[in-house]
Amino acid sequence: MIDAGALLLLTFLGQQFEQRGFIENRTVAYPQTAPNDSAHVVDEMLLREEASYKFTPWFTLSGAFDARSDSHRQTVRDWVVDADDRSILRPAFSVRRLSATIHKGKITAELGRQFIRWGKADILNPTDRFAPKDYLSNVVDSDFLGVTAARLTYESGGNIVDLVWQPWFSPSRTPLLNQRWTGLPPEAAGLSLIDAGANYPGGSQYGARWNHVGSGYEFSLCFFDGRQNLPSFDAILTPPDPSIEFTRTYPKLRLYGGDAAVPLPWLTIKGEAAYFTSETPGAEEYALYVIQLERQVKEWSFVAGYAGSIVTRDAASPLQFAPDRGFAKSFVGRAGLTIDANRSLALETAVRAEGSFVRFEYSQLFGQHWRATGGLAWIRGDMADFLGQYRRNSYASLALRYSF
């Protein structure tokens, strides 16, 4: 009788519980050293587990957990679980997602740590303001970070209204000063650079987005008021030693934006634009826009476009980490080929006036669980250019993933 009850309970739990995860080892080899980094090989290990439990048809609890380590001191070596995930180094153990989703009729509410993605373009998303990224070990290939927020979505017919309130700030994670993805000119090699951490702002952020799906088109309008998740740096020179102390700060930011997608018989046009203003003295004000064309031919997919920017007020300090701006004024292209059910190829490129980047990837599934992905990235340009500053960071990579 007890066995039967346990079996029934297990069956019930099995129907409500979903999980997936993977463990991945990624090795990146850099043929060249950088002024602030002599390592040629960096190895990263990541275990990610995602699970959800549906208590009722309208209430689901979702969680995701990361455990990681690396060979290059990019991860905190501490047995502490980080719930905020906003440390300078990556946490060894972090709560990537922990949220409750409630949906009733046309309304969906999600509360807690979650992922919020806005925008329609694929090459750059100026309106994607609740999506900080982890740039620590690679600026041209980065992962998203979750945010703690309350999100309320109303969907009716072809209209979706999205309201988001983020009670505290989540920054993007930037490269470390003593590693190669902080681009330093050769003249800075003798200086002592001190990372003084970050001044995280208080206060909340909020945003709203209206998306409309029409017959043969789709567009959205959005608004955001909060902070730039990419930092500016305050630098203090401390004589007599030639050392400079850097502190991250995050200027206020207000965004007015929109995006659109129009599928046409020969190609799909997607566009996205945002205008950013700031009350923070000395902060830049600018517009970012993207126009891209997509075309699918058999097993090939092609995306090509231009990302542009217009500055309406210059920044008082040039010390900013701004990859979104760095990829602006670029022609960007992507091509993908699905060779068969197990194999695929991808090629991505960004070309600016003074810098360029090309990445090639081949990926193959072995059996039901193992996937190997090999890649080559080639970066060229002038030191003054956003991409060009990483010209010594061309790399080859190999990732081996076991999914479960």
Partner 1 sequence: MNKFFLVVALMVPAFAQDARQIMLDVQKRQHSDSQRYEGTLEVTSGNNQSTTKRWIYQRIGSFGNSKAILRFTAPAEVKGVGLLIVNHPDRASDQWMWRPAIGRDQRIALQDRSTRFFGTDFSFEDLEERDVDQYEYKLLADEGASWKIESKPRKSSQYEYSYFWVQKEHYNLVKIEAYNKKGLVRVIDYKNHELIKGIWTPRLTEVYDVTRKSRTILKYEKLEYNLPMKDEDFSLQALRRDL
Contact (Cβ atoms closer than 8 angstroms) between residue 134 and residue 70: no
Q: Could you tell me if 136 and 172 are in contact, meaning their C-beta atoms sit under 8 angstroms apart?
A: no
- Give the total of residues touching partner 1 (CB under 8 A): 54
Q: Determine if 142 is a binding residue for partner 1 (CB under 8 A).
A: no
Residue from 69, 87, 153, 179 in contact with partner 1 (CB under 8 A): 153
CB of 184 or CB of 274, closer to partner 1: 274
Q: How many CB atoms lie within 10 A of CB 58?
A: 12
Residues written for the chain: 404
* Stretch touching partner 1 by CB under 8 A, among 31-39, 307-315, 339-347, 386-394: 339-347
Residue 320 vs 338, nearer CB to partner 1: 338
117, 178, 203, 312: which one binds partner 1 (CB under 8 A): 117
Residue 251 vs residues 134, 282, 283, 327, 335: alpha-carbon distances, Å: 19, 9, 6, 20, 36
What is the rounded distance in angstroms from the CA atom of residue 20 to the CA atom of residue 356?
36
Phi, psi (rounded to 5 degrees) for 238: -115, 95
**Which member of 49, 84, 122, 354 binds partner 1 (CB under 8 A)?**
122
Tokens at 219, concatenated: 């567009």
Which residue, among 104, 107, 125, has the nearest Cα to 116 in the 3D structure? 125
295 or 313: whose CB is closer to partner 1? 295
Contact residue for partner 1 among 25, 27, 52, 247 (CB under 8 A): 52
Q: Which of residues 57-76 bind partner 1 (CB under 8 A)?
A: 60, 62
Contact with partner 1 (CB under 8 A) among 6, 31, 59, 106? 106
23 binds partner 1 (CB under 8 A): no
The three-class DSSP label of residue 237 is strand
Give rounded-to-5 percent helix, strand, coil for the chain: 5, 60, 35
Pairing type for strands 159-166 and 147-156 reads: antiparallel
x/- track of binding to partner 1 for residues 377-396 (CB under 8 A): --------------------
Contact region with partner 1 (CB under 8 A), list: 28-36, 49-57, 134-142, 390-398: 49-57
One-letter identity of residue 294: E
Which residues make up the interface to partner 1 (CB under 8 A)? 18-22, 50-52, 60, 62, 101, 103, 105-106, 108, 115-117, 119-120, 122, 131, 144, 153, 155, 160, 213, 216, 218, 261, 263-268, 294-299, 301, 338, 340-342, 365, 368-369, 371, 401, 403-404
